[in-house]
Amino acid sequence: MNIIKRFFGYGDLILQSYKIRKADSEEKRETAYKKLTESMGKLHGLPQKVGQLMSMSSQASSQHFKDLENNSNEMPFNKIKDILKKTWGKNIEDVLENISEKANAASLGQVHRATLKDGRDVAIKVQYPNIRDHLETEITTMSWLANIKGNSKIKFDTDIYKNEFLRDLNEELDYRHEANLQTQFSIITSALPEIIVPQVINELSSETVLVSEWQDGKSLDDIALQWSDEDKQQSAMLLMKLFCHSLFETGFLHADPHQGNYRFRKNGENIEIILYDFGSVFQCTQDFRLTLMKLIKASTQLEDVDPYRLMLKLGFDKDLLKPLIPKLPAICSILFEPFESPMKFDHSQWNRVERISDVLQDDRWNFRMSGPPNFIFLIRAFHGILSQLTTLNKIVSWKIPLAPYLQQYQKEIDNLTLPNTQEESKTFDSIAKYLVILVEKNGKKKAEIKLPAKRIDDITDLMEEEVLNKIVQRGIDIDAKVKAIRANGYIPQNIVTLEEEDSTIYVSLE
């Protein structure tokens, strides 16, 4: 019966998605979105997880999925009492002074606030019965994993991605594993006293029940509305500091970064971040971290370094990556652009999706499928920090919090051993460094402007309207020029030569 109910539940998701696409009015669209999120919440599990991921999207529709970060259809409290009694082997009244019947319901379970007999306030997370069976069935049968399409000449092994996702979900369903990760995370973030990880109450925890000390704070949406610009800026910088410390120093990165898993509070003049839910964590070796730092450093400084060999060392698939060798310097340069300047990076102007798509063109599926399976969770964490900064409407420097780790591990980074390859490489210094606008009058230089080469993406904003009009009058399509420049990897080249009676304007990449 449960399988049949979930089958019809998925049918309702499809129906509401169809209604959203076909809606001929905003009212109908809003109604369909409301019913879609309600259905996701009732199904729990994978549908709600997908909804939580969609809430981190940069698309305007992401706002419709915000409620799925903290709320869904709750399990009746009588069932909660039965599960706790079975887990603890005693009536809950013998363990708890009190417990709130109202819960924060999530994708795999729900959380109740309670007080132990010794006076400690705790959060009790109880897993939904049968959720493991539902998830394994759904993941196995999901057509979006089986029907990924790409270059027909390349055979993509989608099973390794499905298995990685199943592995992560199986770990997330074992609250004993989560308790261990939560304790580890508390230890490795001890260098950041502003990060609060609730202490696990191991004697009351099991595979399906996790009890932690209660730590309260405000949601990201709340502080975005209620806190001062100074406090929000401090929060944004702390989020970036946590991201860099976790990834580059510890190799232990919270990989379920939707807003329901973060809370914020003030402690005097300092901001503290409380982290919840450690079921999904991206873990990597020191060798991986050193390689990633070398790749970031080389791409942002346009060094004589081969990205292909570095990416192979990170675990990328050689056969899928090989056709992309000429494009890799440009791709990495765009991907790691936030780390390029010590100035605050405005991620809202990044436009990475369009630019990378223009570079990759028909090879985009090669690139998407070439990464190691666990990159799914690194990318999820990366999207999380972008979503958090967007909610706060704040920009921060990405280079400054990375710099201490580059300095600390400089010797190890320089001495990395990379895999040998027979393929002809293309290094980062093949990319143009400057966008040059040169004006000559009567054969002599009158003016010259040098800007970072990637400002070519903003070329129409840099030129005077009069000059742009003259270019258009000559039948030159600037947008097409920019797309062609991306497609050939931002290599040095002449872009436009505009000749007047006694003057010439040259625009080039050098």
In DSSP notation, 461-497 reads HHS-HHHHHHHHHTT--HHHHHHHHHHTTS-SEEEEE
Q: At what angle do helices 375-392 and 229-244 cross, to 10 degrees?
A: 170
Spatial separation of the C-alpha atoms in residues 103 and 373, rounded to whole Å: 34
pLDDT of residue 73: 55
Spatial separation of the C-alpha atoms in residues 50 and 65, rounded to whole Å: 9
Give me the residue label for tokens 């992401």. Answer: 62
Other Cβ atoms within 10 Å of 269 Cβ, number: 8
CA distances from 218 to 81, 207, 383 (A): 28, 29, 21
CB 328 within 8 A of CB 308: yes
Other Cβ atoms within 10 Å of 51 Cβ, number: 26
Report field, pTM of the whole predicted structure over 0.85: no
The H or E element spanning position 263 is strand 262-267
Domain boundaries, the chain: 1-43, 146-202+214-430, 432-509
Query: What pairing do the DSSP bridges indicate for beta strands 262-267 and 270-275?
Result: antiparallel
User: Which residue stretches of 59-122 are H helix?
Assistant: 77-88
Could you list the beta-strand ranges (E) of 37-149: 96-105, 109-116, 121-127
pLDDT of residue 187: 93
Return the structure tokens found at 467.
């000059």
Query: What pairing do the DSSP bridges indicate for beta strands 209-213 and 252-254?
Result: unpaired
CB 235 within 8 A of CB 261: no
pLDDT of residue 155: 46
pLDDT in tens, the chain (510 residues): 454 555 455 555 666 665 666 676 777 777 776 766 666 656 554 555 555 545 545 454 445 555 544 554 568 899 999 999 999 999 999 999 999 999 886 668 889 999 999 999 999 999 988 777 666 665 555 544 344 334 434 444 555 656 666 677 777 888 999 999 999 999 999 999 999 999 999 999 999 999 999 999 999 999 999 999 999 999 999 999 999 999 999 999 998 887 889 999 999 989 999 999 998 889 999 999 999 999 999 999 999 999 999 999 999 999 889 999 999 999 999 999 999 989 999 999 899 989 999 999 988 888 888 888 888 889 889 989 998 999 999 999 999 999 999 999 999 999 999 998 888 889 999 999 999 988 888 878 888 889 888 889 888 887 778 878 888 888 888 889 899 999 999 999 998 888 887 888 888 999
